[in-house]
Amino acid sequence: MFDTSSIGKSFPAFTIEVERAKLREFALAIGESDDIYHSREKALEAGYTDIQMLPTMPTQFEFWGNPGWMERLREIGLNTTRLLHAEQEFDYLGTIQPGDVLSGVTTVLEGRARRGLDMATLETRYTNQRGEEVLAARMKVVVRE
């Protein structure tokens, strides 16, 4: 059962490098065929400085860059074997490029436990290697017991 006393709690920071190959893999996985997501040369021709990151890519940062993610969710009382990723939103505050090293800190914004249904909203704020805040990612998760 979701522990409401965890609202406001922040998890330990994690880091992830934005890898060009992972950006390409993600584009392939979702069927994006525009060359700016696959070829640095084509991205340069289109006026970008490198291949581009699809807007929903940061969902993967949580899982690839944060190996303790599921354990953290269990610590706040969520049954991760029955977890549903219900909503996701991103606020881009700066540019994210291949080669950037991002540091993320996740905070429990809100949550509740009611009649066999747990819900929690988590926000991960990311800064790059220059200390610039570049992204705020909010995720809602639901667990039905």
Question: What does the pLDDT read at residue 66?
Answer: 87
The DSSP H or E segment spanning 144 is: strand 133-144
Give the list of residues 6+ apart from residue 20 with CB closer than 8 angstroms, or none: 40, 50, 51, 98, 99
Give the list of residues 6+ apart from residue 8 with CB closer than 8 angstroms, or none: 107, 108
Question: What does the pLDDT read at residue 63?
Answer: 81
Give backbone dihedrals phi and psi of 27, rounded to 5 degrees, phi first.
-60, -45
pTM of the model: 0.91
Question: What DSSP line would sit under 107-134, residue for residue?
Answer: EEEEEEEETTEEEEEEEEEEE-TTS-EE
Query: ∠ CA 87-89-95 to the nearest 5 degrees?
Result: 155
- For domain 4-18+53-144, give the fold: Thiol Ester Dehydrase; Chain A (3.10.129)
The DSSP H or E segment spanning 64 is: helix 58-64
Domain boundaries, the chain: 4-18+53-144, 20-52
The DSSP H or E segment spanning 61 is: helix 58-64
pLDDT along the chain (145 residues), means of 10: 94 95 95 96 96 94 86 94 94 96 97 92 98 97 91
